[in-house]
Amino acid sequence: MSATKVNKMMKDNGVKFVDLRFTDTRGKEQHVTLPSSEIDSAFYKDGKMFDGSSIAGWKGINESDMVLMPDTSTAVIDPFADEPTLNLRCDILEPATMKGYERDPRSLAKRAEAYLKSTGIADTAYFGPENEFFVLDDVRWGAEMSGAFYKVDSEEASWNAERVYEDGNIGHRPGIKGGYFPVPPVDSLHDMRSAMCLALDEMGCKTEVHHHEVATAGQCEIGCVFNTLVRKADEVQILKYVVQNVAHSYGKTATFMPKPLVGDNGNGMHVHQSLAKGGKNLFSGKKYGGLSDMALYYIGGIIKHARALNAFVNASTNSYKRLVPGFEAPVMLAYSARNRSASIRIPYVANPKARRIEVRFPDSTANPYLAFAAMLMAGLDGIQNKIHPGDA
């Protein structure tokens, strides 16, 4: 989308504010808002200066100036703002060179895509994450001299079966590990997820499925269509924004925390991946699971670098409370066409064009730009060095 088209979108929608979005190293989305009167031709060329020293892990106070450069192709109307607002995702540039800042996750992800093309191996990397989350009714936490705690609650939780409610306890709630695919009224969050899907579609993130997940206490999943590396990372940030804001509008709290409950399934971010060149899926072949040699080598790279990848794709101590036996989480550094305990699964597909792998150990504490780029680099190392993962 050109700057001219963005300006037309602003005019057609009566936009009063432009919200500039970017992602910090931790994966947290940040923003700054400008009145629409500040948007002129120079804005699209020069960007917006800001203080980079105030962003964790970035610049020192002695060299704090940085540039927010809007990506006009990401322009979208914010469905949650009271005043008409247009969101623009930005890259972070060094003002001296006007090139991507080395610690900017989105700029790094763009460099990863450029490197892929430079290798000649493929021209496109596709990613399809599945971000699971809980929708909760009460969240409390504290950290004091005497100790620390957090406590969550949900009307849908199995532990509330005996609780006395003012209007009565209707009793419709999934048990522990009993939340997969029940119809309403047991699935009390169906309408909320539908509202989330409509907002996602409105913001350009095409959805293809939503459902209740396995755990009690409101575990859910919304599936969106796969996309290229940077675009999909953008869409993960949009998904989190939508899920959390729709839940908030219902008076609830959504969390992507990997393991908020003891004794039930946690939240993963299984990431489907494939490479393509000239529109051809390079992962489709006649080897194990219908994969090509290239796909197997890609798996080999993921397995070889799994420990290093953990730093990017399992970015909290809570991540490792999820990766334990008994809860459908991956606990084996292996690949399999069926076993969901394996770190990498090969999904069944009816059409070879859809052939892909599913890396199952990541979760949503990951910065999507860094996580996707790291997995791509690991996979490419496997291809370049023909690292076979061994027999499944």
Q: How much is the pLDDT for 319?
A: 98
Confidence class of residue 219 from pLDDT cuts 50, 70 and 90?
A: very high
Decide if pLDDT at 167 tops 90: no
Rg (CA), the chain: 22
Q: How much is the pLDDT for 52?
A: 85
Out of 1.10.3720.10, 3.40.50.10950, 3.10.20.70, 1.10.10.10, select the CATH number for domain 3-103: 3.10.20.70
Which position has the token pair 């670098």? 305
Confidence class of residue 101 from pLDDT cuts 50, 70 and 90?
A: very high
**DSSP string computed for 265-303:** ----EEEEEEEEETTEETTBSSSGGGB-HHHHHHHHHHH
Q: Is 84 exposed, middle or buried (0-12, 13-18, 19+ CB in 10 A)?
A: middle
Q: How much is the pLDDT for 59?
A: 75
306-313 and 368-384 helices, crossing angle to 10°: 160
Structure tokens belonging to residue 81: 């703002």
Q: What CATH superfamily is the domain 124-384?
A: Glutamine synthetase/guanido kinase, catalytic domain (3.30.590.10)
Is 90 or 168 the better-scoring residue by pLDDT? Answer: 90
Number of Cβ atoms within 10 Å of the Cβ of 321: 17
Confidence class of residue 327 from pLDDT cuts 50, 70 and 90?
A: very high
Average pLDDT over residues 165-182: 92
Confidence class of residue 60 from pLDDT cuts 50, 70 and 90?
A: confident
Check: CB of residue 222 under 8 Å from CB of residue 198. Answer: no
Check: CB of residue 181 under 8 Å from CB of residue 156. Answer: no
Residue 152: what residue type?
A: V
Q: Is residue 17 classed as helix, strand or coil in its secondary structure?
A: strand
Q: How much is the pLDDT for 58?
A: 85
Check: CB of residue 283 under 8 Å from CB of residue 294. Answer: yes
Decide if pLDDT at 64 tops 80: no
Structure tokens belonging to residue 192: 């909320």
HEC states along 159-174? HHCCCCCCCCCCCCCC
Parse the chain into domains and list their residue ranges. 3-103, 124-384
Check: CB of residue 209 under 8 Å from CB of residue 226. Answer: no
pTM score of the predicted model = 0.95
The set of catalytic residues is 51, 130, 132, 213, 221, 270, 340, 358, 360
Tens-place pLDDT, residues 301-323: 999 999 999 999 999 999 999 99
In the chain, what percentage of residues exceed pLDDT 70?
Answer: 100
